[in-house]
Amino acid sequence: MGSRSPLQQQRRVFIRLIGGSIILASAGLLAGRHFIVEDDELQRAKEEKLGANSDPRLALIEKASLAPSSHNLQPWLIDLRGPADIILLRVDPERLLPVADPHARETLISLGCFLELLSMAAQAGGFRCEIIEFPEGNAPQITPVAPVIAQIRITPATTTEPLLPEPLLAMLEQRRTNRLPYDTQRTIPDDILASLLDAGSVHGIQADGTVNPALLQKLNPLAENAWQTEMSNSETVLESLKLTRVGKKEIEYHRDGIAVSGFLPEMAATFGLFPRDRVPEPDSTFMRSMITTGKEQGQTAAGWIWLYSQGNSHAQQIAAGRAYVRLQLAAAQSHIAMQPMSFLLSEAPAMQPHQKDLYDNTELNSDQHRLQMLVRIGYADPVAASPRRRLSDFILE
Ligand SMILES: Cc1cc2nc3c(=O)[nH]c(=O)nc-3n(C[C@H](O)[C@H](O)[C@H](O)COP(=O)(O)O)c2cc1C
pLDDT tens for each residue of 27-80 = 222 222 233 334 456 556 555 555 556 899 999 999 999 999 999 999 999 999
Distance from Cα 68 to the centre of ligand 1, integer Å: 6
- Return the SS3 of 16: strand
Q: Indicate if the pLDDT at residue 19 is higher than 50.
A: no
**Where is average pLDDT lowest: 139-148, 174-183, 261-270?**
139-148
Q: Whose CA is nearest to atom 3 of ligand 1?
A: 70
Per-residue model confidence (pLDDT) at position 4: 41
Per-residue model confidence (pLDDT) at position 229: 97
Of 67, 79, 62, 83, the closest CA to residue 149 belongs to 79
Average pLDDT of 198-223?
98
Among 70, 91, 300, name the best residue to mutate to test ligand 1's pocket (greatest count of ligand atoms within 8 A of Cβ): 70
Distance from Cα 119 to the centre of ligand 1, integer Å: 20
Per-residue model confidence (pLDDT) at position 53: 65
Q: Whose CA is nearest to atom 6 of ligand 1?
A: 340
Per-residue model confidence (pLDDT) at position 154: 96
Q: Whose CA is nearest to atom 4 of ligand 1?
A: 70
Plot region of 335 (φ>0 → left; ψ -120 to 50 → alpha; else → beta): left
Q: How confident is the model at residue 8 (pLDDT cuts 50, 70, 90)?
A: very low
Per-residue model confidence (pLDDT) at position 78: 98
pLDDT per position as a tens digit, 344-382:
999 999 999 999 999 999 999 999 999 999 999 999 999
Among 66, 173, 177, 255, name the best residue to mutate to test ligand 1's pocket (greatest count of ligand atoms within 8 A of Cβ): 177
Per-residue model confidence (pLDDT) at position 140: 56
pLDDT averaged over every residue in the chain: 87
**Between residues 306 and 143, which one has the greater pLDDT?**
306
Per-residue model confidence (pLDDT) at position 37: 36
Distance from Cα 178 to the centre of ligand 1, integer Å: 9
Distance from Cα 218 to the centre of ligand 1, integer Å: 23
Q: Indicate if the pLDDT at residue 22 is higher than 90.
A: no
Distance from Cα 277 to the centre of ligand 1, integer Å: 22
The DSSP code sequence of 169-205 is: GGGTTT-----SPP-TT-PPPHHHHHHHHHHH--TT-
**Between residues 105 and 35, which one has the greater pLDDT?**
105
Per-residue model confidence (pLDDT) at position 158: 80
**What is the distance between the alpha carbons of residues 106 and 74, in angstroms, rounded to a whole number?**
11
Per-residue model confidence (pLDDT) at position 389: 98
Give the helix ranges, DSSP H, for 29-167: 40-52, 56-64, 105-124
Answer positive or negative: Cα dihedral of 202, 334, 64, 20: positive
Q: Indicate if the pLDDT at residue 87 is higher than 50.
A: yes
CATH level 3 topology of 190-378: NADH Oxidase (3.40.109)
pLDDT per position as a tens digit, 125-160:
999 999 999 998 865 566 667 899 999 999 998 877
Per-residue model confidence (pLDDT) at position 24: 22
- Greatest Cα pair distance in the chain: 67
Q: Which atom of ligand 1 is nearest to the CA of 297?
A: 11
Q: Hey, where are the domains in the chain?
A: 1-52, 190-378
Per-residue model confidence (pLDDT) at position 163: 77
Per-residue model confidence (pLDDT) at position 159: 75
Per-residue model confidence (pLDDT) at position 94: 94
Per-residue model confidence (pLDDT) at position 54: 80
Distance from Cα 168 to the centre of ligand 1, integer Å: 19
What distances in angstroms separate CA 83 from CA 33, 153, 161, 270, 298, one per listed residue? 29, 9, 24, 48, 48
Q: Whose CA is nearest to atom 10 of ligand 1?
A: 340
Q: Which atom of ligand 1 is nearest to the CA of 110?
A: 31
Per-residue model confidence (pLDDT) at position 300: 98
As for ligand 1, residues whose beta carbon falls within 6 Å of it are: 68-72, 106, 109-110, 113, 176-177, 179, 258, 339-343, 386
Distance from Cα 104 to the centre of ligand 1, integer Å: 15
**What is the distance between the alpha carbons of residues 388 and 67, in angstroms, rounded to a whole number?**
9
Q: Whose CA is nearest to atom 28 of ligand 1?
A: 70
